[in-house]
Chains A and B, each alone.
Chain A
Amino acid sequence: MDLSTTYLGLELKNPLVPSGGPLQKDLKNIKAMEDAGASAVVLWSLFEEQITHEQLELHHHTSVHSESFAEATTYFPEQSEYHVGPEEYLEHIRKAKEAVDIPIIASLNGKSAGGWIDYAQKIEQAGADAIELNIYKMATDSSKTSAEVEKDYIDIVKSVKASVKIPLAVKLHPFFTSITNISKELVEAGADGLVLFNRFYQPDIDLENLEVIPNVLLSTPMAMRLPLRWVAILHGKVKADLAATSGIYTEKDVLKMLMAGANVTMMMSSLLKFGIPHLADVLGKLKFWMEVNEYESVEQMRGSMSYQNVADPSQFERANYMKVLNSYR
C-alpha cells in the first residue's frame, strides 16, 4: 500500500503533517513527531512584529531611565550581543534539519514588505524545505475595499516568491468573499500550496473584570467541516497543493480530507490533547482502513470525493437550513 503523497513539490511518505504549534519549539518533540510517523513538520510562525516589538521593548527598558540621575547613569549592564532578531528561530530550523530526516516547513508572519522578503530569505538560508506564509490582516478599516485587502495578500506572495527558491504555501483564513477567486489569484502570484484554514485568536469578554480576552481554543472535530468543503471545492480548480487543517483528530478525518482533495492533512489540536504518539495511532488506523477497504494508495483516493468528482456537487454548495430540510423531504 502506498501512503506517499506530494506537497509543495516535496515527496512525503504519508499525508500526516503536524501543523505549526508550540510543541515544535522543543526539538525532542520534532524528533518524536518523526518517530510517530509524521512525513513533514510545520514550525510555529516567526512573527516580524514580535521581533520588532522585542527589540523596541528591550531598547526602551534598558535605556529609558539612563542618564537621568547623577548616581546611576545606567541601570543594566551593557551586553555586547543580543539575540533579538530572528536568529533563534533560524537556529531552530537548522537544528531541526539536523535532528530529523523529514522536511521542515517554516512559517512566517511578516509585517513590513521588507520584513516578509528579508525573513523569507533568511529562512531559506537556514535550510527550511518550504515556507508557509501565515498572512492575516484584520480588515477593520472601513475605507478599505475587499479588493484592496486581497491585493495586499497577493503582493506579499509575489514579492516573497520572487525572492526565494524554496516552495511557498499560503495559509488562508476563511473570511474572503470569494475563496475560490483569492485562491486562484494567490496561486497565480506564486503559491505552490494552500493551507485551509488559519485559525485565529478569538476575543472573549471577561464579565468579572470587563476585559476583552483574546485566546485560541483547540479545534474540535466539528471544525473540519469548513476546510472539508473548501478543499473539495478547490481541488482541481487551482493548480496548487492543498493542505487541510482544523479539527483533524482521527484516521476518518484524514480519509475524508484526502478524498475531498487534500495532499496533506495537518493536525495540532489532537496532538496537544492526546500527545504526539496519537499521530502514530492515526497513521496505523489509516493503513488499516485502507487495507480493509482495499485502497492501494493515497493517490488513488485523493480528490475522489471532490466537488468535481462527486455525483452531486451541489452538496458542497448547500449552505443553509432550508435547503437541507428540502433535501430531506
Chain B
Amino acid sequence: MERKKVTIDGNEAAGYVAYHTNEVCAIYPITPSSPMGEWSDQWASEQKKNIWGTIPLVSELQSEGGASGSVHGALQTGALTTTFTASQGLLLMIPNMYKIAGELTATVFHVTARSIAAQALSIFGDHSDVMATRQTGFAMICSNSVQEVMDFALIAQAATLESRIPFLHFFDGFRTSHEVMKIEQLTVEDMRAMIDDELVLAHRKRGLTPDAPVMRGTAQNPDVYFQGRETVNKFYAECPAIVQKQMDKFAGIVGRQYHLFDYVGAPDAERIIILMGSGAEAVDETVQYLINKEEKVGVIKVRLYRPFSIEHFINALPKTTKSIAVLDRTKEPGAGDPLYLDIVNAISEQFNDGVLPFAYPKIVGGRYGLSSKEFTPGMVKAVYDELKKDRPKNHFVIGINEDVMHSSLEYDAAFTVEAPQTFKGKFYGLGADGTVGANKNSIKIIGEGTDNYAQGYFVYDSKKSGSTTTSHLRFGPKELKSTYLIDKANFIASHQQFFLEKMDMLKDAIPGATFLLNTQEPADKVWDTLPEKIQRDLVNKKMKFFIIDAYKVANDTGMGARINTIMQTCFFAISNIFPKEEAIALIKNSVKKTYGAKGEKIVEMNFNAIDQTLANLHEVEVPATVTSKIQFMPYVSGNVPDFVRDVTAVMIAGEGDSLPVSKMPVDGTYPTGTSKFEKRNIALEVPVWDADTCIQCNKCVIVCPHATIRAKIYDESLLANKPETFKAVKFKAKDFGDNLMYSLQVAVEDCTGCGICIDVCPAKNKKEVKLKAINMAEQLPLRETERANWDFFESLPLYDRKKLNPAQVKDSQFLEPLFEFSGACSGCGETPYVKLVSQLFGDRAVIANATGCSSIYGGNLPTTPWSKNAEGRGPAWSNSLFEDNAEFGYGFRLAINKHNEQAKEYLQELSAEIGGELVEELMNAVQTDEVGIYEQRERVAVLKQKLNDYKTTNSASPKSSEVEHLLSLADYLVKKSVWIMGGDGWAYDIGYGGLDHVLASGANVNILVLDTEVYSNTGGQASKSTPMGAVAKFAASGKVMGKKDLGLIAMSYGNVYVAKIAMGANDAQTVRAILEAEAYDGPSLIIAYSHCIAHGINMETAMKNQKAAVDSGHWPLYRYNPLLSAEGKNPFKLESKAPKIPLKDYTYMETRYKMLTKSHPHQAEILMELAQEGVKKKFHYYEQLAALKDDNEEVK
C-alpha cells in the first residue's frame, strides 16, 4: 500500500498515533512534550475522530501529578487513556505509574526524554527522567527517529493491550521531538489492523462499574502484600515476546521490521556499542562508514529496555563480540549508569549460566549527550577506537572535556561520515523574522515535493527578546541518520546583517558553498561592510555570494518585519532544487496552506512578496583579495571578573561546548550581576531623552522592563568631567535642595527598544506634540557616545536611599535596580514588578522563583539579571521546581528565622563580652524603614568588629565557639526579606496547594504572582487564571469558566495581606502595595497584572491594556491589610472606580479575546456577555466588601 509521506516532527508523530488509538488524553504542558497535547487538543477541536470513529476527550490538568491521577482514574474506569510528558513532569507521575503497573493496566505514556533539574534546570534532552522510572513496572520502549516514534507509538499501544503491562514510549527531547523529518505516515487502516478490538473490550471490561462492582486499591498487610506483588511476574516474563510479536505483525502490515534489540554492523564485528535514543542513529551512520573501511564494528539499538530480555539481547550480539561500550544518556552519580549495569548483568548472568556464546568480553560504560549535548560521528569513532585498547577506559564521558577526574575520551571534531550528496544548509535568523517557520515550510516542500530524504532541526538561544535562531536543513537521496547539528554546510544564510558583527558563521562553510545575506547595502558596497574573517572565508573557500534587501521587499509588500517568505524564495531561487517556476508555485501553494485560514489579504501579501523577491536578489562577485579590517565585536565588554571572562564570555560566544568541567562551579552556584557584561545591541531604535520637555516624573524608569532607562540625582559639581553629550538638568523637586542635578540615561546597548517608556511618558513637546520627553532614535549612530555617557552615569553616586521616600513613585526610581538587562521579552509585563522589588528590598532579599518565564529570564545562562550593589549586597536567588516554590520560599523563612533567633541567643550569651548596651540595641532594633535597617547594619558591623577583636585577644576563651557562631549569624540580625515569585501557572495551578499552605502558615513571606493569565513560558496554555472568553491552548473555543479569584481566597484567612495591582493603571498603588506587603509581618500575596506576548497585543502600548483592564472592572485594584482589621477598621480598600468602560472595550484590544470573534463568533458573543455580567457582579461584591463598617461605625 502506498502511504502518505509527511514531513513532521516527533511530537506530531507520537501525538498522531496516541490520538487515534485512545479515548481520553489527560495532560499537562511541559517542554518539550507540550506539542503532543496541543496537537491532540487541536485535532479534537477540529472534530477529528480516532480509529473507532469517536473524538477523544482531551483534558488539561493542574499538574502532571493531576494528569497521571486522571489517567489512572480513566484507565480504571475502562477508557483507553494516554498522556504526554517529560522531565519533572514524569517524576510527578511516578506514584501513579506504580499503581497503574501494579494493577496491570494497559496504557502508553509518550515521553520526550529530558534532563532532570539537578545542579541546574535544563529543558533539553537526555534519559535522566525516563531512567528514574525504570523501577515502576512500566515497560519502556525507545524510538530513535521520527519514523520510529510513529511506529513504536503504535507497536507500544498494541503491546500494552496484549501484555497488560503499561508502556512508557520515549524519544529524545528536542533532537527527536522537535526534529522535522520526512516519514511515512501510518494509515487508520494500519492502526485498526494493529489494535485488536477484543483486547480493547477486555480492557474496558476490567473498568470499574457499579453494574459489576469490584474494588482495587486495597491496603494490604505483611501477610499478603509480598505475595500480591509477585503475582505480576508472569506478565513481565511474557511481555518481551509479545512486543516482538507485535513488531513482527507491524512488519507484516507496514514493512518495517524492528526487534527488541536491533543490530547494525559487520557480521563479524568485535567492537560493539550499545545505546538507545537518537544517538543510535549517529552510531549507525558511523558504523556504515567504518565497515566500509573494514573496521569490525557494530551497534545494538536497544528498543525494549524494560522488561529487559537478556535472551533477546544476547541473541542480537554477534558471536564475534570482544569488547562492548555501553553508552548511557543519563547520570547516576556514585554508581554505574543504568544501561551499563543492565548489560553487565546480562552478560554476567549468561556467563554464569554457561550460555554466553562468546568469551567474556571487555565491557565499559560511558556517558554522552546530557542535556542534548552533541553526539557526533567523531565521538562515536573515539569510542570504537577506545574499544581497540587492551584496557579501554571505563566510566568515561564523551563529548566534553572532563579535566578533573580525567574520564573523558578525546575525539576528532573534524571527523565526518556524511554523504557528499546530502545538501546541508544553515540559516541564521532572528526569532521575530520568521526564519524558522520559513525553513520548516521549506523542508516540508522539499520532503513532500521530491524523492529526497529531508530533515530540519532548529536551535534557539535562551533569550526571549532578540533571540537568534539557527535552522539546520539536510536533504538528499541517502537516508538521513545524522542526529547532530550541521558543521559542514554547503549553504549558509544570514537573515540579519548585524549577525556578521559577532558570528563567525562561514567557518562551517565547505569550499564552493553559497552564502546568502540579507543586507540593506547595495551589491557594489556590501563587500566593504563585511568583517575580515567573513571576507577571508568567501575568498579562500571560493564561495558564491548572494544578497537581498529583504526588509525593503517586506516593507514594499506590507510584510513588516517578517522576511520569512522572501528569504525562503531566495533559498529556492539559488539552490535550484526545483526549476524556478515550480519552486515559486510550490512556495505559493505552501503559503496558501499556511495562511489561507487567516484571510486572503495575508495570502496576497505573501504572494506579492514572493513575486518581488527575485528582482531584488543579486549575486555579488567575490573579489580575489581580502580588504576588510573589521573584526568581530567582543562578546563581553568592560572590566570583567575572571569568571565572566573565562566562562560566561565563552558561553556568550557560542563556544560553551569547549568549556572543561574544571571551569564549572561544582554545585550550580553562579555569581550574580552578569547580564551587564553582555552588550547585546539588539534594539534598532532606542529612547533619547529631551531634558527640556521632561517633567522628571520617572514614570519611564518604573515601567522599563529591562532597567535600561535610569534616573539619578547628584551634586552639580560631579559634572566637571562629563562627556560632551551627557545630559543633565536642575532637579525640579524643591525639598531636595537647590544644587541637585537630574539625569535620565539610557543603556542603549542593553535596551531592547520596546518603547513602553515612550508610551507612558506624560510630557509632550509644546511645539510639536508628537515628540515627548523621550523619543525613539536609531541606535547605531548613538552607540559610541551613549556607551560613554552610560559609563559616566554609572560612575555618578547613587542618592542616599535613607533620604528618599520610596512610597513616592518618583523617589522609588532613584533606587538602584538589582535586576537588570534580563533576556525577557521586549516590553515584558512581569519584569517591571520584579525590578521594583529589587529596587525597594533587593539588598536584603532572598528570592524563591518558581519555574517559568521568570526563572528563565531570571536564571538562564549565560548571563543573568539579578545583580548586587556597590556594597556587594543584592538579591540571593534560587529556583527549586515549578510546583514547590511557595514551600521552597517558606523554607528560606524558616532558616532565616532560626538564624535570627540563634543569633539573638548568642548575643545574650555573649552579652558581657559584647557590651549590654549594644546587645540591647541589636535585640530591639526597629527595622521598618531604610534608616532602621542602615542603623542595624552599622550595629552589626560594630558587633563583628568587637567579636573579631575578642577573638584576637582571647584566643583560648571557652566562648570562642559561640563567638564564631555569632560571627556567622550576625548578618541575620538585619531584617531579611523573603520573596516568593512565579507566574499564574504556578500560583493558581500546580503550586496552589503549597501556596495555600504557606499563606495559612502565618509566616512572614511575600508572594508575588506575576499573573499573565496563561502559561506563558510553555506557549500559552490555559491556566485557572485565564479569564472567561479568552482563547488559549486547551481553550481554543474560549475559556468557559471564569478566572479563579485567588485574592479573595487568600483574604478568607483574615491574616494574609492581599493586594491586586496593575502598574499601567496605577503605579502609585503598585508601589504602596509592595511596600505594605513587605512591611507586613505575616504572609503577603500580591497579584500583579502582567501583560504578555501571549495576549497578542502591541507590547509598546501594553500599559494601556493594563489601564483598560482596570477601567473595565476586569482587574479591580485593592489592598487588604489585616493590620487595619487589628485597628478595628475595614481591612479591604477598593482602589479602582466602578467599571467605566464596557468589558469588551478592554478585551477586544487583545488578540486572545478578539480571535474568538473570528473563529467562533457566536461563542464569543455568549462568553463576552457572561463575562461582562461576571465583572459587574464581582465588582459589586467588592464594593460591598469595601463598604463593610469599621468596628465602631454605622453601616455606610
Contacts and interface: CB of A to CB of B under 8 A. Distances in A.
23 contacts: A51-B599, A54-B1158, A55-B600, A58-B1151, A58-B1155, A60-B560, A63-B437, A65-B825, A65-B1094, A68-B460, A68-B467, A70-B31, A71-B31, A71-B856, A71-B1017, A73-B178, A73-B436, A76-B1032, A77-B41, A77-B45, A82-B1159, A84-B599, A84-B1158
Given A68-B432, A70-B459, A82-B1158, 20 more contacts: A51-B601, A52-B601, A56-B558, A59-B598, A60-B560, A62-B1096, A63-B434, A65-B1094, A67-B434, A68-B430, A69-B431, A72-B1018, A74-B1020, A75-B1020, A76-B1031, A77-B1034, A79-B1036, A82-B597, A83-B1159, A84-B599
A118 to B, nearest CB: 9
Given A65-B825, A69-B467, A59 B599 contact: yes
A150 interface: no
Closest 6 CB pairs of A and B: A68-B431, A72-B1019, A55-B599, A61-B1096, A67-B436, A61-B1151
Contacts, number: 150
B311 to A, nearest CB: 41
B1151 A62 contact: yes
A68 B460 CA distance: 7
B1194 interface: no
A69 B42 CA distance: 21
B1093 interface: yes
Contacts of B469: 67-68
Contacts of B431: 65, 67-69
Given A70-B460, A71-B123, A80 B46 contact: yes
A294 interface: no
- Interface of B (DSSP majority class): mixed
B1151 to A, nearest CB: 4
B1151 A59 contact: no
Contacts of A59: 595, 598-599, 602
B666 interface: no
Interface string A69-105: 1111111111111111100100000000000000000
Contact of A58 (B599, B769, B1020, B1161): B599
A139 interface: no
Contacts of B435: 67
B32 to A, nearest CB: 8
Interface of B: 31-32, 34-35, 38, 41-42, 45-46, 123, 174, 178, 430-432, 434-437, 440, 458-460, 462, 464, 467, 469, 558, 560-562, 595, 597-602, 605, 764, 769, 825, 856, 1016-1020, 1031-1036, 1093-1094, 1096-1097, 1151-1152, 1154-1155, 1157-1159, 1161
A210 B437 CA distance: 42
B982 to A, nearest CB: 16
Among A59, A60, A71, which residue has the most Cβ atoms of chain B within 10 A? A71
Nearest to A65: B1093
A29 interface: no
Contacts of B1035: 77
A178 B15 CA distance: 68
Contact of B1155 (A51, A62, A65, A68): A62
Contacts of A74: 1019-1020
Given A59-B599, A69-B464, A75 B558 contact: no
A57 interface: yes
Contact of A69 (B460, B601, B1036, B1151): B460
Contacts of A315: none
Contacts of A85: 599-600
A66 interface: yes
B1036 A77 contact: yes
B1031 A77 contact: yes
- Interface of A (DSSP majority class): loop
Contacts of A84: 598-599, 1158
B601 A82 contact: no
A64 interface: yes
B597 A81 contact: yes
A56 B1158 CA distance: 13
B432 A65 contact: yes
B1097 A61 contact: yes
A58 B825 CA distance: 20
Among A65, A70, A84, which residue has the most Cβ atoms of chain B within 10 A? A70
Contacts of B1154: 58
Contacts of A63: 434, 437, 562
B921 to A, nearest CB: 51
B597 A79 contact: yes
Contacts of A57: 1151
A80 B602 CA distance: 15
Contact of B1020 (A67, A70, A72, A79): A72
A223 B1017 CA distance: 56
A68 B464 contact: yes
Contacts of B856: 71
Contacts of B561: 64
A79 B601 contact: no
A64 B1031 contact: no
A58 B1018 contact: no
B702 to A, nearest CB: 20
Contacts of B1161: 83, 88
A120 to B, nearest CB: 16
Contacts of B462: 70
A76 B1020 contact: yes
Nearest to A84: B599
Nearest to B1160: A79
Contacts of A72: 1016-1020
A226 B562 CA distance: 49
A8 B1157 CA distance: 35
A55 B601 contact: yes
Nearest to B1017: A71
A51 B602 CA distance: 11
Contacts of B1158: 54, 58, 79, 82-84
A78 B42 CA distance: 7
Contacts of A79: 45, 597, 1036, 1155, 1158-1159
Contacts of B440: 67
Nearest to A205: B769
A209 to B, nearest CB: 8
A70 B35 contact: no
Contacts of B764: 210
A82 B598 contact: yes
B598 A55 contact: yes
Among B42, B437, B1019, which residue has the most Cβ atoms of chain A within 10 A? B1019
A81 B31 CA distance: 27
Interface string A1-33: 000000000000000000000000000000000
A66 B437 CA distance: 8
Nearest to B468: A68
Contact of A76 (B437, B769, B1151): B1151
Nearest to A57: B1151
Contacts of B430: 68
A62 to B, nearest CB: 6
Among A78, A79, A211, which residue has the most Cβ atoms of chain B within 10 A? A79
B42 A77 contact: yes
A62 B1033 CA distance: 12
B954 to A, nearest CB: 57
Contacts of A54: 599, 1158
A210 B1017 CA distance: 39
Contacts of B45: 77, 79-80
Interface string A26-59: 0000000000000000000000000110111111
A79 B46 CA distance: 8
B814 to A, nearest CB: 27
Among A56, A66, A72, which residue has the most Cβ atoms of chain B within 10 A? A72
Contacts of B1031: 76-77
B715 to A, nearest CB: 35
Contacts of A62: 598, 1096, 1151, 1155
B196 to A, nearest CB: 33
